[in-house]
Amino acid sequence: MQHDLFTRLELPSGAVLPNRLAKAAMEENMAAPGQLPGDRILRLYERWGRGGAGLLITGNVMIHADALTGPGGIVLDEDSPIEPFRQWAAAAKRGGSQVWMQINHPGRQVYAEMPGVAWAPSAIRVDIGKQSKRLAQPTEMTSEQILATIARFVETARRAELAGFDGVEVHAAHGYLISQFLSPLTNRRTDEWGGDLPQRARILTDVVRGIRDTVSPSFAVAVKLNSADFQRGGFDAADARAVIGMLAPLGVDTVELSGGSYESPAMSGHSADSRTKAREAYFLTLAEELVATSPLPLMLTGGIVRRPVAEEVLASGVALVGMGSALSVDPDLPNHWREGTDAKVELSPVLIKDKSLAAAASMSRIRYQLRRIAHSRPTNPQVNPTLALLRESITSKRSLRQYRTWLERKNTHA
């Protein structure tokens, strides 16, 4: 049965999304003091909520205060006050959207200047060529640390429901911690957390099982999964198919397909793999392979900026169309499409040869738009990506000082 972009979607948990368009996660790096959501985040999500997407998925919310992807990250752990998160959920839902919290642990993808910990399934550093020294040297996790991390995911999900969010999305893509466990390139363990795919996937299945056992039946539980890592010998489409099969009996509502990592940043269009360049929707070719056998509804994210492409994604059998960059430039794009216009977003390519720097500049350009929306200003898609990256580096230094002070105080009083 062919579905329109604006038909409702009922998920396995019984949750109902008002349409098939989702604001995909984009890391905002806009935490208020205390690594909490503040006024800027509230304004940003209230604006997106008015834009017509049926689902808003937050950027990374970190489960472990000592392990952040960046110093402006928001943390929801056992010590976090709930009220700021209640305000966030309420602001996002004002326009009628559902809102899910993306929950994450960076694992080894932590910058060397960050305080805290850099954990990984195996002590293998991120290799991004000349830029590698910017990333921390990770330490191999103990079994106790793995179990504690699973418990943190569950606690963050429990508190997200308490705060009024409609669901959570467990981030198991883009080379972050769970993705590191899934990949044979980064998981060389010989204990029960490594080896064949079911063992490498154990942290993910234990996290999902723990969350589903803790939250209400109607609370949505999603997983973001790489369709492939785009690295020779890494996690591939056959692995993704197998993991989706493992997740199906655990009460997962949808799997969002993406791809890449810091080492092969396909999620921002900078992979060397031709499968991400063939179409505007970077991962549609792989999604088409997976949707044929998937027992779960799939969501596809990556590079979608035009209505005909979104409709092509839906026609492939994918249930939910995720958009990130497009909604950072035009938060009203879903409303435009509902009104029958073919509005689109145009972002010029980032012409930096170093793919890791190009990916960083691409994301800085996106976060520049998010900050403008959060300050009730018009977006500026023509901003120079290199300039956006330089401006963000200045902001990050200030955030790093604040985060370091906060973390020292938190750990002193622990």
| pLDDT tens across the length of the chain (414 residues) | 456 999 999 999 999 999 999 999 999 999 999 999 999 999 999 999 999 999 999 999 999 999 999 999 999 999 999 999 999 999 999 999 999 999 999 999 999 999 999 999 999 998 867 777 888 899 999 999 999 999 999 999 999 999 999 999 999 998 899 999 999 999 999 999 999 999 999 999 999 999 999 999 999 999 999 876 566 667 788 898 999 999 999 999 999 998 766 655 544 444 444 444 344 565 777 778 889 899 999 999 888 888 998 999 999 999 999 999 999 999 999 999 999 887 888 877 788 877 778 878 888 999 999 999 999 999 998 998 889 889 998 999 999 999 999 999 999 987
C-alpha 287/C-alpha 294 separation (Å) is 10
C-alpha 119/C-alpha 139 separation (Å) is 5
C-alpha 291/C-alpha 152 separation (Å) is 31
Length of the chain: 414
Any bridge partners for residue 21, and if so which? 321
pLDDT at 346: 81
Inter-residue contact 270 to 336 (CB < 8 Å): no
DSSP secondary structure letters along 302-318: SS--SHHHHHHHHHTT-
pLDDT at 281: 60
C-alpha 227/C-alpha 181 separation (Å) is 15
Residue whose entry in the numeric block shows the structure tokens 């943190």: 152
Inter-residue contact 167 to 100 (CB < 8 Å): yes
Inter-residue contact 71 to 400 (CB < 8 Å): yes
- Dihedral angle at the C-alpha atoms of 72, 78, 84, 90, nearest 10 degrees? 110
Q: Which residues contact 388 (CB under 8 A, 6 or more apart)?
A: 361, 364, 365, 367, 368
| CA-closest candidate to residue 302, choices 317, 280, 273 | 280
pLDDT at 130: 77
User: Within 13 Å and on the Cβ side, how many CA atoms surround 341?
Assistant: 9
Give the three-state DSSP class for 377. coil
DSSP 396: H
pTM value surpassing 0.85: yes
Element (H, E) at 74: strand 74-75
For Cα atoms 254, 258, 264, give the angle at the middle one, nearest 5 degrees: 155
**22 φ/ψ angles, rounded to the nearest 5 degrees:** -125, 140
pLDDT at 268: 43
pLDDT at 231: 64
pLDDT at 354: 77
| CA-closest candidate to residue 97, choices 41, 159, 51, 37 | 51
Give the three-state DSSP class for 331. coil
Go through the domains of the chain in sequence order and give each one's CATH number: 9-347 (3.20.20.70)
C-alpha 273/C-alpha 80 separation (Å) is 41
DSSP 263: S
C-alpha 41/C-alpha 209 separation (Å) is 30
